[in-house]
Every structure is written in C-alpha cells, then in structure tokens.
Structure 1
Amino acid sequence: MWMIENLYRKGLTSFWGVDTEIKVISLAHWSGNLQTRE
C-alpha cells in the first residue's frame, strides 16, 4: 500500500510541477500581451 501511495505522491508532485510551469508560461504570455497593447 505504501508503494502505491509513494507513486501517487510522486505523480502528484510531477503534475503540480508541470501545472506550475504552464501557469508561469501563460502568465508571461499574458503580461507580454498587456505590454504590447499599451
């Protein structure tokens, strides 16, 4: 059981890392779009 829990946590961590990367990239694009509009 602990192995499944460990794998689940690792998957969750890597998923969160990807999610954070996407958020940072989209935020950079969004702020870049705001700057070009001004």
Structure 2
Amino acid sequence: MSNPQWLLWARQIQAIAQNGLTYTEGVFDRERYTQLSALAQEI
C-alpha cells in the first residue's frame, strides 16, 4: 500500500528544513527552516 500524498509532502518539507538547518549560516533562515520543520511534524 502506498503512502498518502500529504505524507510524502510532509517528508519532503522535513527534508528541506533539515538540509536548511544543516547548511544555513543566516539567523533568519535558521528561524524559517525551524518553522518548516515544526510544520512538517504537525502534519
């Protein structure tokens, strides 16, 4: 059985957020990626 589309989107958002948190140097970017991560976890 395949995963629902919303779950795939949440995983993609989480991956983008994690990459951003790993490689960003900007304080404001870090805040945005943290918010994306929280959103993906909520989904």
TM-score by length of 2: 0.47
Q: Could you list the runs of 5+ residues in structure 1 that have no partner in the other structure?
A: 1-14
Q: Could you list the runs of 5+ residues in structure 2 that have no partner in the other structure?
A: 25-43
Query: Does residue 1:36 correspond to 2:17, yes or no?
Result: no
* Identity within the alignment, %: 9
Residue 8 (structure 2) aligned to one of 17, 22, 33: 22
TM-score by length of 1: 0.52
User: Quick one: higher RCO (CA 8 Å, sep 6+), 1 or 2?
Assistant: 2
Would you identify which runs of 4 or more consecutive aligned residues in structure 1 move more than 6 Å? none
> How many residue pairs are counted as aligned between the two chains?
23
